[in-house]
Amino acid sequence: MLTFAGVLLAMFLGALDQTIVSTALPRIANELNGLERFTWVATAYLVASTALVPIYGKLADMYSRRKIEVTAVIIFLVGSMLCGLAGEFGPLPLIGDGMNQLVIFRAVQGLGGAGLFAMAFIIIADLFPPAERGRYQGFTGAVFGTSSVLGPFLGGFLTDHGSNLIPGVEGWRLVFYVNLPLGLLALWFILTQMPALRPRSQPKPFDYISAVLLMLGLVPLVTALQLNKAEYGWTSPFTLGLLAVAVTSLVAFVFRSLRHENPILDFSLFKNPVFRTANAALFLLGGAFLGIIIFEPLFMVNVLGASATRAGVSLIPLSMGVVAGSLLAGQMVSRFGHYKRWMLAGIVVLLGGLSLLATMPENVSYYQVLGYLLLCGIGLGPTMPLYTLAIQNAIEPHLLGQATSASQFFRQIGGAITASVLGAVLTFTLAQYMPAAGTPPLTPVQERVIGEGPELPAAASGSAASPQMRAAFSKAISRVYLVNIFLVSCALLMTLFVPELPLRKTHGEAPPPAE
């Protein structure tokens, strides 16, 4: 249990870092004179943390899990310290000014963050057999939900008041330094309490060429998806060039993996129906949570006229629902031994919540929307632990790391692609209903996802938007949710095809056959 606590704490750091920085970004960009590059602070972390997930999974199958986890935590803490020091000593040779330093150091942080996510599920799978694992993996959803609530609040508090806590240190730097004491505590738990968890077979040589090909494929792909489309549209030479490099490298990676004796991702896993269908569902569900977080604040500000603060607070019920749904589903699976019914129930509840969001009238009350978001969160909760549990239960133990990291990767890459699709839907719909006006208030993430669109009159914090603008945003966001409903319905269909296998009661037991 102490090992479990340390792993969850390390995972909490990675999840918190995805949200805590967003509220500090405007102040950071202003102080480091890098407003034109501030979106790259988030993009650098996301690119690195997504691209490294499959590699961590492979390394976990080859070497001691403890060594991999310790390495990931140390890289993350070094990156956090460097981010806090960005610009402190002026421009640096080769790197440049403080904003460039921060972008590069955020990528370093992302290299460690990838391991915090991937290794958490892998280590939990080593600690507890599948029949008991649900109740423990349910806590991973609670970690994500808690961090999504605490992150923006803590980021804003430290940015505004952190200078009073430690004289001479800008508040935004504490957003990164806060990781150090928590990370060192997690490191102590892991070093002193965690068993080595060595691989079950003698490792073969690592395929470095496949690793390079994978990085050359995923880094341009995620970068192309995250580019600000107002600056680099989908048909711009730069975006198309990145996509071409990504496709070429990933095709080469597949051919290399099919021929190598020790591939980073064993493609024979796709012959397993549980692995195949569960990952397809995760890919489609990956954007559901992200889509709500990105587009619901737009509805709050531009349709209901809520302030930015109230729009942010409105997401708390969503996170509370995720925590409740994740913990409840994990406990029920461990008690009764069936995972598929809870996966299906969660998606049905999610579809109900999305249907209510898609049919909201312009005069819907603020508190009604909070209820709809709570319902969506309860539906999303079971998707966090149960699909990974189903995959882990169905594969051979020596492939556990690869299979687990693949589930995390498909969720993340699906979220990035789905968010881009939903952003294009919003832009297209706004162009139909509001061909001309001033710019809507967008967060950095919304700006990257939505990209170039019609100019709309900005709704100042708490001020009433024009009727034309309210109607346009209401129709556009409704259409976004309708597309999201279609994608989640496809995920429901894929989940129906996930075989229901008995949960193994010991680690040594062979996985049940899946027809």
CA distances from 386 to 14, 138, 241 (A): 21, 8, 38
Q: Whole-angstrom Cα distance, residue 407 to residue 389? A: 10
Mean pLDDT to the nearest integer, 26-52: 82
Closest residue by Cα to residue 382 from 507, 491, 499: 491
For 10-24, 108-122, 475-489, 490-504, which range has the lowest pLDDT when averaged over its residues?
10-24
Q: Is the pLDDT of residue 368 over 80?
A: yes
For 119-128, 133-142, 357-366, which range has the lowest pLDDT when averaged over its residues?
133-142
Residue 435: the pLDDT is 53
Question: Under a CB-based contact definition with an 8 Å cutoff, are residues 49 and 226 in contact?
Answer: no
pLDDT band at 300 (very low <50, low <70, confident <90, very high): confident
Residue 439: the pLDDT is 45
Residue 453: the pLDDT is 42
Is the pLDDT higher at 437 or at 75?
75
Question: Under a CB-based contact definition with an 8 Å cutoff, are residues 286 and 444 in contact?
Answer: no
Q: What angle do CA 187, 190, 196 make, to 5 degrees?
A: 140
pLDDT band at 81 (very low <50, low <70, confident <90, very high): very high
Closest residue by Cα to residue 214 from 261, 244, 257: 257
Count each helix (H run) and each strand (E run) in the chain, helices first: 20, 0
pLDDT band at 283 (very low <50, low <70, confident <90, very high): very high
Sign of the CA dihedral running 251, 256, 257, 259: positive
| Homologous superfamily of domain range 267-515 | MFS general substrate transporter like domains (1.20.1250.20)
Question: Under a CB-based contact definition with an 8 Å cutoff, are residues 144 and 384 in contact?
Answer: yes
Q: For 422-431, what is each residue's pLDDT tens digit?
A: 888 888 888 8
Mean pLDDT score across all residues of the chain: 84
Q: How many CB atoms lie within 10 A of CB 244?
A: 12
DSSP 178: T
Residue 284 tokens read as 């489609």
For 124-128, 139-143, 246-250, 458-462, which range has the lowest pLDDT when averaged over its residues?
458-462
Buried b / exposed e along 96-117 (16+ C-beta atoms within 10 A):
ebbbbbbbbbbbbbbbbbbbbb
Residue 232 tokens read as 């680099």
Q: What angle do CA 193, 197, 203 make, to 5 degrees?
A: 150
For 146-150, 270-274, 493-497, which range has the lowest pLDDT when averaged over its residues?
146-150
What CATH number should be reported for the domain whose range is 1-200? 1.20.1250.20
Contacts 24+ apart (CB under 8 A), 462-466: 462/305, 462/306, 462/307, 462/310, 463/305, 464/305, 465/302, 465/303, 465/305
Q: For 381-417, what is each residue's pLDDT tens digit?
A: 888 789 989 999 998 888 888 999 999 899 888 888 8
Q: Is the pLDDT of residue 9 over 80?
A: yes
pLDDT band at 302 (very low <50, low <70, confident <90, very high): confident
Mean pLDDT to the nearest integer, 492-511: 82
